[in-house]
């Protein structure tokens, strides 16, 4: 992070659970958990947009003088990963290791600052088993044919993240990894906590018996163990609001009390060819492919930042072309030895980001300074330097 003059600005953003704009981490410290990748395929623009959004929050907090603890997981054991490994005849651990490295390379290229802790599900199995045992001891877990389920009825605040009606919860859980139709469950939406070993799938020994943890308890365990309850922000794409973030919060409530997270911020879904970009649909634009074809990763980052995080948006060639043009004009204006003073522009840039992460407005602040430089120039020798450092620190654009 390049040094900047002190900027006294707080972040206000849209909290999904509150359904309103809310100040987030107004104090000196900020603790954030963001749901990471399932490493069975390359990082696409949708993933990248989500991690750039939370990187913008991370950078904002650091540039405004806060100490940040940022935790991100990697779901390095999951059904889609095992299915892809089996389809391609490769070892699932090798597939995960390869895709994790590719993800990290993509994030470095996009200048996404690394989280404080990047934690795999596999290395968390023992801790997750201990958390499941804790849930069982307090009566929040029950068995169905050898598998352990979480009883959402044990969490008084269940529903407070998504506020969805029960029928919608059941329908969505069927689409996103749940098993609402399985006989023997107390509530159709109750999620798996511990899955008994299956033929041909990996399993781990634990005091619960052999098996592997469910998805939600993995994230709840990592967040509670590294951040503690009541951390400032739970993040991820909107597709994780239910069941994933609802279930992690409910399990966290039973384990360590309410709130699990104080605030929930969700990234919009990026679509391509008219549908949500997703590994299962196959309508993908990969960051690694763009890089290989010679696209400047900074243009990809600017293309993402030109979108509002409050609405889903489509990736198109025009979005990228506009960002490439903008990047060129910024670099031209910043490479001059002098320019207009940028003190007020940097303040306005920080204000725009603090006001509901308004990245399109932040880019327009820079555009205005660049236009002034182009039309009239300026004789401030510190103008371009301060502007470059602020663009680097807040926007991650070199």
Residues engaged in binding ligand 5CA (CB under 6 A): 35-38, 46-47, 49-50, 73, 75, 219, 236-237, 239-240, 267, 269-270, 276-278
Q: In the 3-class helix/strand/coil scheme, how is the chain assigned residue by residue? A: CCCCCCCCCCEEEEECCCCEEEEECCCCEEEEEECCCCCCCCCEHHHHHHHHHHHHHHHHHHHCCCEEEEEEEECCCCHHHHHHHHHHCCCHHHHHHHHHHHHHHHHHHCCCCCCCEEEECHHHHHHHHHHHHHHHHCCCEEEECCEEEECHHHCCCCCCCCCCCHHHHHHHHHHCCCCCCCCCCCCCCCCEEEECCCCCCCCECCCCCCEEECHHHHHHHHHHHHHCCCEEEEEEEHHHHHHHHHHHHHHHHHHHCCCCEEEEEEECCEEECCEECCCCCCCCCEHHHHHHCCCCHHHHHHHHHCCCCCCCEECCHHHHHHHHHHHHHHHHHHCCCCECCCHHHHHHHHHHHHECCCHHHHHHHHHHHHHHHHHCCCCECCHHHHHHHHHHHHHCCC
Closest to ligand 5CA by CB, 316 or 341: 316
| Binder among 32, 219, 249, 395 for Zn ion (CB under 5 A) | 219
Q: Which partner from the list ligand 5CA, Zn ion, none does 349 bind, CB cut-off 5 to 8 Å by kind?
A: none
Closest to ligand 5CA by CB, 84 or 389: 84
Q: Which helix H or strand E contains 113, and what residues bound it?
A: none
Task: Tell me the closest approach of the beta carbon of residue 251 to ligand 5CA, in angstroms.
Answer: 14
Q: Which partner from the list Zn ion, ligand 5CA, none does 237 bind, CB cut-off 5 to 8 Å by kind?
A: ligand 5CA
Task: Tell me the closest approach of the beta carbon of residue 299 to ligand 5CA, in angstroms.
Answer: 19
Q: Is 35 in the site for Zn ion (CB under 5 A)?
A: yes
Task: Tell me the closest approach of the beta carbon of residue 222 to Zn ion, in angstroms.
Answer: 8
Q: Which partner from the list ligand 5CA, Zn ion, none does 277 bind, CB cut-off 5 to 8 Å by kind?
A: ligand 5CA
Task: Tell me the closest approach of the beta carbon of residue 136 to ligand 5CA, in angstroms.
Answer: 23
User: Which one of 189-197, 219-227, 270-278, 361-369 is the stretch in contact with Zn ion (CB under 5 A)?
Assistant: 219-227
Closest to Zn ion by CB, 64 or 173: 173
Task: Tell me the closest approach of the beta carbon of residue 324 to Zn ion, in angstroms.
Answer: 33
Q: Which partner from the list ligand 5CA, Zn ion, none does 162 bind, CB cut-off 5 to 8 Å by kind?
A: none
Closest to ligand 5CA by CB, 265 or 365: 265
Q: Which partner from the list ligand 5CA, Zn ion, none does 37 bind, CB cut-off 5 to 8 Å by kind?
A: ligand 5CA
Closest to ligand 5CA by CB, 176 or 325: 176
Task: Tell me the closest approach of the beta carbon of residue 24 to ligand 5CA, in angstroms.
Answer: 18
Closest to ligand 5CA by CB, 214 or 383: 214
How do beta strands 270-272 and 231-237 pair? unpaired
Task: Tell me the closest approach of the beta carbon of residue 220 to ligand 5CA, in angstroms.
Answer: 11
Distance (Å, rounded) from C-alpha 95 to C-alpha 111? 24
Q: Which partner from the list ligand 5CA, Zn ion, none does 270 bind, CB cut-off 5 to 8 Å by kind?
A: ligand 5CA
Task: Tell me the closest approach of the beta carbon of residue 2 to ligand 5CA, in angstroms.
Answer: 28
Tell the burial category of 141 from Cβ atoms under 10 Å away from its Cβ (0-12, 13-18, 19+): buried
The position carrying tokens 């820079």 is 366
How do beta strands 147-150 and 192-195 pair? antiparallel
Closest to ligand 5CA by CB, 223 or 298: 223
Q: Which partner from the list Zn ion, ligand 5CA, none does 267 bind, CB cut-off 5 to 8 Å by kind?
A: ligand 5CA
Give me the residues that bind Zn ion (CB under 5 A), please: 35, 219
């Amino acid at each position: 992070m390049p040094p900047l003059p002190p900027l006294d600005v707080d972040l206000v953003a849209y909290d999904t659970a509150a359904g309103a704009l809310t100040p987030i981490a107004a104090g000196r410290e900020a603790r954030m958990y963001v749901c990471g990748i399932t490493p069975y395929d390359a990082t696409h623009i949708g993933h990248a947009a989500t991690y750039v959004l939370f990187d913008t929050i991370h950078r904002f907090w650091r540039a405004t003088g806060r100490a940040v603890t940022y935790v991100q997981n990697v779901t390095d054991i999951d059904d889609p990963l095992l299915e892809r490994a089996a389809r391609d005849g490769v070892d699932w651990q090798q597939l995960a290791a390869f895709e994790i490295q590719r993800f990290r390379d993509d994030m470095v290229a996009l200048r996404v600052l690394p989280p404080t802790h990047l934690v795999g599900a596999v290395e968390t199995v023992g801790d997750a088993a201990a958390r499941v045992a804790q849930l069982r001891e307090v009566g929040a877990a029950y068995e169905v044919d050898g598998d352990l389920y979480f009883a959402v009825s044990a969490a008084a605040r269940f529903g407070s993240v998504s506020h969805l009606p029960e029928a919608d919860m059941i329908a969505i859980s069927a689409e996103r990894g749940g098993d609402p139709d399985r006989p023997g469950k107390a509530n159709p939406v109750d999620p798996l906590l511990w899955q008994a070993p299956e033929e041909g799938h990996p399993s781990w020994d634990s005091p619960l018996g052999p098996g592997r943890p469910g998805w939600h308890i993995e994230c709840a365990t990592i967040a509670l163990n590294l951040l503690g309850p009541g951390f400032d922000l739970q993040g991820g794409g909107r597709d994780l609001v239910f069941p994933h973030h609802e279930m992690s919060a409910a399990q966290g409530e039973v384990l360590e009390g309410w709130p699990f997270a104080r605030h929930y911020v969700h990234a919009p879904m990026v679509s391509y060819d008219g549908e949500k970009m997703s590994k299962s649909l196959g309508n993908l634009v990969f960051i690694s492919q763009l890089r290989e074809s010679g696209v400047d990763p900074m243009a990809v980052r600017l293309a993402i930042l030109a979108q509002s995080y409050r609405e889903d948006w489509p990736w198109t060639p025009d979005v990228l072309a506009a960002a490439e043009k903008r990047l060129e004009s910024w670099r031209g204006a910043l490479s001059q030895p002098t320019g207009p003073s940028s003190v007020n522009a940097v303040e306005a840039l920080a204000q725009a980001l603090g006001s509901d992460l308004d990245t399109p407005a932040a880019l327009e602040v820079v555009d205005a300074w660049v236009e002034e430089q182009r039309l009239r120039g300026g004789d401030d020798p510190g103008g371009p330097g301060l502007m470059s450092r602020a663009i680097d620190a807040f926007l991650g654009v070199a």
